[in-house]
Chain A
């Protein structure tokens, strides 16, 4: 399954897709998007790569076994909820930090953001676990 057009296009599309997925992930808190759909887009990008080249190259590009990626995502999501435990509040109470970048504006970051990153990683991990395993058959 090698097509010159597809493989050339993929080389340009893959980074774009990944950037777009991260954009979707981070805008999710205020506008449509979020970790789940962002993860799906990133997974689709890697799946495209696997079709255009082969699974071995995709795995090498990924650098981490997708099963470990989903485990890592669960760890991040769980860990984001544990932060509040150390501050004496119930599990998964949102904690927020406001950073000022005068005169550009200010940035609010909080534990739900990390939770969403966890979701993003889990979704990429499980989708690629399934797709890459199927593709190897």
Chain B
């Protein structure tokens, strides 16, 4: 029960957050932070049990007819993510209060961010694939709302839409993958799927399953070539970038693949794809991060690169690689969250995010400068900071297999750039000569520096005493991925081994990269031309193409003239049903065609004559009268075939039609024949064909033996079940009541449409 309320209570709080803000105003961030802190403490209470190898699982029937349960599962991997989500979440809520102080929509923002927090907790705790998919999509939706938070800005809306389209398309693929997984082994529960790994890997659906799941994970975690939405998402307010787009949501793809590793990994397809895509993303993201000058973009591309590292390590999949992945993920969340929040604080206080214009802020912002230094050193993997362990294990895991020199080379290159980028984003703004900026900078308020300082200090403390987390929080997560006992002991000093020397060389050369950055950028400036042929351009082209195609078909089909709509609808229906009917024309039964009495034939003849007359007369009144004859004759047919309900309704409708006609009669122009002979010939043809089709359908229907049970069921059950003797009405209000409800809803909508057409047409002056 606890797990369910841990996830669902966040949604409730999200709903009432705007009202809390109305009362608590400036204190809202601090007040709301109590909620994730309480959840953090709640998850902390499980740490002993989970480290001992226990898992917590709760399950409630959700859609029992499909075998789908609302089930949650807590093991080492879920727990690690839950700590990150609630811990960083609390800091981000406090930070938001300072960053968006007095923003007119701040209450709504709190609601969105809590909505995200609850969805993300759902993702990492869900045991049912359908539940995971639901929460997964909810994180995409909340990300959309948060990126587009400044919705008056065109660029924010475009970025929000881009992120939503990319991640939701991936979500669709993921849904497909989950459905196929269920087909393959017949289970929706992840805890069951991971036990059936061998059955899945040998199943004929294995390849489509892997490709679909990977598509979902790669889009969500911004892997090349889907990475472009993440830098665009920097349009969001900085708390969102720190929380969703570096620390938590973008890691959902990594989480998913880690979770699915026991079920899907250890095949050439998986290893090859995940490793290659991760490695390309890693190098690509780092290279682009290096040439950015906007603080947030630098951090965004370095996040893309870091996600690539995690993917690549998952792809390699050895015990060492998975250890490195988990340790790196934890370290990354700490320093990247801190750096993002600092970027926002700098922007807030100095009025710019351009690293070329930022310098010498240390005297004005000493606390932020200290946090920036610690976070940057952690990112650069300097010993004694937690980032160091991730890098060491990362190198070690690639070096232990000597078949991977290419990956190791790419990794060293990336790590060098990481060093340079870390100095650029976390240290450079604070050192050197003060530049004249538009704003007089001063230290950020406590709400803005509490988050980065806490995260950076955590990086330092855990860097000095890694034994605080290695066995309790990290090892269980590694176990959850690998499913076999491994050993993890993080230690600062391993002796002077080659890996350590490589790390030191990386640090030195990375510092060199930073010093010669401007010269290197000039050297490679010819590469800038490639920017316009990236995947982002492909996205714009695809979107423009979609819009153009939609417009083209709208121009053809939506002419705005009722006569063309009628023509298209009638002709389409005729062709489609006619084609089907012509296929077995022999089945039309002509047997009862002449089996009519004269009083049945009379109204039929009347209808024919009146219909013909309606097309020939040269007066509108006469045409309407002729159509009235058609209507009343149809009602007569209903009477003859003992359908008094239908007849009554038909009579009423005919009467109302006359009233309607009287109302519009005086407004109509003089009767005239405006259509050409060709148009009339065409319309005659379409009308006759449609009439012929209806005739053919009637002939066909009279030859079909109806399922006898339906009408007898209604006759037998009308009184006992529905207490009524008029079967027609009982069907309308009872047996098929849902249809009727839908029909009257449609009617009401149509009436609103008519009202809008009559009252609001353009050019009409407002009368009331």
Binding site for B on A (CB under 8 A): 24, 28-37, 40-41, 43-44, 47-48, 51, 67, 70-71, 73-74, 77-78, 81, 91-92, 94, 96, 108, 110, 112-113, 115-116, 118-119, 122-123, 125-127, 129-131, 133-135, 137
Closest B residue, CB atoms, query A129: B751
Q: Compute how far the CA of A48 lies from the CA of B748 in the bound complex, rounded to whole angstroms.
A: 22
A133 pairs with B754, CB closer than 8 A: yes
B722-764 CB mask vs A (1 if < 8 Å, else 0) is: 1111101110111001101100110110111011001100000
Q: Can you name 16 extra interface pairs (CB under 8 A) apart from A70-B747, A73-B748? A: A29-B723, A29-B729, A31-B725, A34-B726, A34-B733, A37-B649, A44-B656, A74-B748, A94-B722, A112-B734, A118-B744, A122-B748, A123-B744, A123-B747, A130-B754, A133-B758
Q: Does B662 contact A (CB under 8 A)?
A: yes
Q: List 17 A-B contacts (CB under 8 A).
A: A29-B723, A29-B730, A30-B725, A32-B644, A32-B648, A32-B728, A33-B729, A34-B729, A36-B649, A40-B653, A81-B738, A92-B737, A94-B722, A122-B744, A126-B747, A129-B752, A130-B754
Instruction: Give every chain B residue within 8 A of A34 (Cβ-Cβ).
Output: 645, 726, 728-729, 732-733
Instruction: Give every chain B residue within 8 A of A78 (Cβ-Cβ).
Output: 741
B411-437 CB mask vs A (1 if < 8 Å, else 0) is: 000000000000000000000000000
Binding site for A on B (CB under 8 A): 644-645, 648-649, 652-653, 655-656, 659-660, 662-664, 667, 721-726, 728-730, 732-734, 737-738, 740-741, 744-745, 747-748, 750-752, 754-755, 758-759
B723 pairs with A44, CB closer than 8 A: no
B733 pairs with A116, CB closer than 8 A: yes
The 5 A-B pairs of least Cβ separation, nearest first, read A126-B751, A40-B652, A32-B644, A30-B725, A29-B724
CB distance from A9 to the nearest CB of B (A): 15
Instruction: Give every chain B residue within 8 A of A115 (Cβ-Cβ).
Output: 733, 737, 740-741
A70 pairs with B748, CB closer than 8 A: yes
Q: Compute how far the CA of A115 lies from the CA of B733 in the bound complex, rounded to whole angstroms.
A: 7
Instruction: Give every chain A residue within 8 A of B733 (Cβ-Cβ).
Output: 29, 34-35, 112-113, 115-116, 119
A112 pairs with B722, CB closer than 8 A: yes
B726 pairs with A30, CB closer than 8 A: yes
CB distance from B270 to the nearest CB of A (A): 44
CB distance from B610 to the nearest CB of A (A): 22
Q: Compute how far the CA of A67 lies from the CA of B748 in the bound complex, rounded to whole angstroms.
A: 8
A135 pairs with B663, CB closer than 8 A: yes
Instruction: Give every chain B residue within 8 A of A116 (Cβ-Cβ).
Output: 729, 733
Instruction: Give every chain B residue within 8 A of A91 (Cβ-Cβ).
Output: 738
Find B723's partner among A40, A70, A96, A133 (CB 8 Å cutoff).
A96
B744 pairs with A37, CB closer than 8 A: no
CB distance from B480 to the nearest CB of A (A): 40
Q: Compute how far the CA of A43 lies from the CA of B747 in the bound complex, rounded to whole angstroms.
A: 15
Closest B residue, CB atoms, query A115: B733
A94 pairs with B751, CB closer than 8 A: no
Q: Compute how far the CA of A33 lies from the CA of B732 in the bound complex, rounded to whole angstroms.
A: 11
Q: Compute how far the CA of A48 lies from the CA of B655 in the bound complex, rounded to whole angstroms.
A: 11
Instruction: Give every chain A residue within 8 A of B724 (Cβ-Cβ).
Output: 29-30, 112
Q: By DSSP majority rule, is chain A's interface helix, strand, loop, or mixed? A: helix
CB distance from B664 to the nearest CB of A (A): 6
Instruction: Give every chain B residue within 8 A of A67 (Cβ-Cβ).
Output: 751-752, 755
Known: A32-B645, A112-B737. A126 touches B750 (CB 8 A): yes
Find B738's partner among A36, A37, A92, A137 (CB 8 Å cutoff).
A92
Known: A29-B729, A30-B725, A33-B648. A70 touches B741 (CB 8 A): no
A126 pairs with B659, CB closer than 8 A: no
Closest A residue, CB atoms, query B759: A133
Instruction: Give every chain A residue within 8 A of B653 (Cβ-Cβ).
Output: 40
Instruction: Give every chain B residue within 8 A of A36 (Cβ-Cβ).
Output: 649, 732
Q: Compute how far the CA of A28 lies from the CA of B618 in the bound complex, rounded to whole angstroms.
A: 42
Instruction: Give every chain B residue within 8 A of A133 (Cβ-Cβ).
Output: 754-755, 758-759
Instruction: Give every chain A residue within 8 A of B745 (Cβ-Cβ).
Output: 74
A131 pairs with B758, CB closer than 8 A: no
A44 pairs with B652, CB closer than 8 A: yes
Q: Compute how far the CA of A133 lies from the CA of B663 in the bound complex, rounded to whole angstroms.
A: 10
B726 pairs with A33, CB closer than 8 A: yes
Instruction: Give every chain B residue within 8 A of A74 (Cβ-Cβ).
Output: 744-745, 748
CB distance from B636 to the nearest CB of A (A): 15
B748 pairs with A43, CB closer than 8 A: no
Instruction: Give every chain B residue within 8 A of A129 (Cβ-Cβ).
Output: 751-752, 754-755
Instruction: Give every chain A residue within 8 A of B649 (Cβ-Cβ).
Output: 36-37, 40
CB distance from B740 to the nearest CB of A (A): 7
Q: Compute how far the CA of A136 lies from the CA of B13 in the bound complex, rounded to whole angstroms.
A: 49
Q: Compute how far the CA of A76 lies from the CA of B664 in the bound complex, rounded to whole angstroms.
A: 32
CB distance from B85 to the nearest CB of A (A): 35
CB distance from A85 to the nearest CB of B (A): 14
Instruction: Give every chain A residue within 8 A of B722 (Cβ-Cβ).
Output: 94, 110, 112
CB distance from A99 to the nearest CB of B (A): 13
Most buried by A among B649, B667, B725: B649
B723 pairs with A47, CB closer than 8 A: no
Known: A96-B723, A129-B751. A77 touches B744 (CB 8 A): yes
Instruction: Give every chain B residue within 8 A of A131 (Cβ-Cβ).
Output: 656, 659-660, 663
Most buried by A among B644, B649, B733: B733
Known: A37-B652, A122-B748. A32 touches B726 (CB 8 A): yes
CB distance from B689 to the nearest CB of A (A): 31
Instruction: Give every chain B residue within 8 A of A125 (Cβ-Cβ).
Output: 748, 751
Find B663's partner among A96, A122, A123, A134 (CB 8 Å cutoff).
A134
B758 pairs with A134, CB closer than 8 A: yes
Instruction: Give every chain B residue within 8 A of A30 (Cβ-Cβ).
Output: 724-726
B726 pairs with A29, CB closer than 8 A: yes
CB distance from B75 to the nearest CB of A (A): 37
A40 pairs with B656, CB closer than 8 A: yes
Find A28's partner among B664, B729, B738 (CB 8 Å cutoff).
B729
CB distance from A26 to the nearest CB of B (A): 11
Instruction: Give every chain B residue within 8 A of A44 (Cβ-Cβ).
Output: 652, 655-656, 659
Known: A32-B726, A34-B726. A71 touches B748 (CB 8 A): yes
Instruction: Give every chain A residue within 8 A of B740 (Cβ-Cβ).
Output: 77, 115, 119
Q: Compute how far the CA of A7 lies from the CA of B724 in the bound complex, rounded to whole angstroms.
A: 39
Q: Compute how far the CA of A133 lies from the CA of B760 in the bound complex, rounded to whole angstroms.
A: 11
Most buried by B among A36, A51, A137: A36
Q: Compute how far the CA of A28 lies from the CA of B725 in the bound complex, rounded to whole angstroms.
A: 9
Q: Compute how far the CA of A137 lies from the CA of B764 in the bound complex, rounded to whole angstroms.
A: 11
B744 pairs with A130, CB closer than 8 A: no
